[in-house]
Amino acid sequence: MRAILALEDGTVFHGTSFTGDGEATGEVIFNTGMTGYQEILTDPSYHRQMVCMTYPHIGNYGINPEDIESDRIRVAAFIVKECCKEPSNWRATETLPNYLSRQGVMGIEGIDTRALTRHIRLNGAMRGVMTTTDDPATAVDKARAIPTMQGLNLAGDVSCRSPFFWTADGPVATDWDSLRWPTSGPKVAVYDFGVKYNILRELSCQGIQPLVVPADTPAARIRELGVDGVFLSNGPGDPEPVEQAIEAIRDLAQDTPIGGICLGHQLLALALGGRTYKLKFGHHGCNHPVQDSTTGVIEISSQNHGFCADVSMLEDITATHVNLNDQTLEGFRHRHKPLMAVQYHPEAAPGPNDAKPFFRRFAQMLTVQ
Ligand SMILES: NC(=O)CC[C@H](N)C(=O)O
């Protein structure tokens, strides 16, 4: 079925829908990962974004029930050069087109993804409309009417509504009144701004007991839990309008060890007095070189962010990591307090495991103070 992708600047790409009729809207960005499409599709940080894969053949190893980073597909739509409809992998239980269609998410193929990627690199991430029905002019008008990502508080859209424990068997629901920590080990409240499962898996691997809490949980409630630390998850949208969380983090940062990843990194930066800004086309892929400025070691990292933090004006903060492609901030820590965060994804999923020791450092920070 013929479909178009119309961008806000009037550019229109013609392709074919591999998920039937439909329409989708969102910010169009590109991801340079060669594999890992299932983790990308289910990463809540992609909420309201249409992801274009630069690798030309996607879907070859199908879909399995394990490689998910949340309970459903989160991207607004999926853009590929060629979608493989007959996957070959012993773990596959479903095809990519089926997976998307079943969850009502549109996929388009047959467009020139290299041209689209170049266009976004040169002109920046853009709002877009994917449609099988509208004519190009109508679709472009619709794209212009979508709210821009800047100023959008989306964490509440994807956060859990009530707390849950992360266990070896996955999430186990609890409620504030009957909450009882199930095992020993450091107790950590994980703010859920759209948390990826692999962050929770990695925290558990460190012997930590993660309790996942809604994005709007006030600091007072966290204090009542008597936690050993707080973790700030990744998540979609602009960090600046997530004011309630910034307020809670500012309060907790006075006396509680805090670690953060991606949106969590940005929110911690804002809570400490830093600033955030939108990048032109963001970092989305599995091959971004990041240098640890304290050791000189370079990690190849998984990344997915459209905004960036600036803490250069803060005396008590040390920048610990820098992106070697564009010199943007990739991590920081407080000089005297147990507070540290990274912009990239040490939990990978998908991506290389170079940065996994971050979780060990966080676990150590809970005990050595
Ligand atoms: N993966 C994330 O947490 C993304 C953070 C934020 N939404 C950004 O785009 O920069």
Candidate of 30, 45, 199 to mutate for ligand 1, largest count of ligand atoms within 8 Å of Cβ? 45
Specify the pTM. Answer: 0.98
118 CB-near residues (< 8 Å, 6+ apart): none
Q: Dihedrals φ, ψ of 266, to 5°?
A: -65, -40
Residue 368 has a pLDDT of 66
Smallest Cα–Cα separation from 75: which of 101, 102, 46?
Answer: 46
- For residue 140, the one-letter residue type is V
* Residues annotated catalytic, as ranges: 262, 345, 347
Flag whether pLDDT at 183 surpasses 80: no
Flag whether pLDDT at 369 surpasses 60: no
Residue scoring higher pLDDT (183 or 90): 90
Is residue 262 lining ligand 1, measured as CB closer than 6 Å?
yes
Helix (H, G, I), strand (E, B) or coil at 247: helix
CATH of 2-145, one of 3.40.30.10, 3.40.50.720, 3.50.30.20, 3.20.20.70: 3.50.30.20
Separation of alpha carbons 300 and 290, rounded Å: 6
Separation of alpha carbons 294 and 332, rounded Å: 10
- pLDDT tens-digit readout, 236-294: 999 999 999 999 999 999 999 999 999 999 999 999 999 999 999 999 999 999 999 99
Name the burial class of residue 80, with classes exposed (0-12), middle (13-18) and buried (19+) by CB atoms within 10 angstroms of its CB: buried
Report the Cα–Cα distance between both ends of the chain, in Å, rounded: 60
Q: Taking residues 327-336, report their average pLDDT.
A: 98
Q: Where are the domains of the chain?
A: 2-145, 155-367
Q: How far is the CA of 263 from the centre of ligand 1 (A)?
A: 5
CATH of 155-367, one of 3.30.930.10, 3.40.50.1820, 3.40.50.720, 3.40.50.880: 3.40.50.880
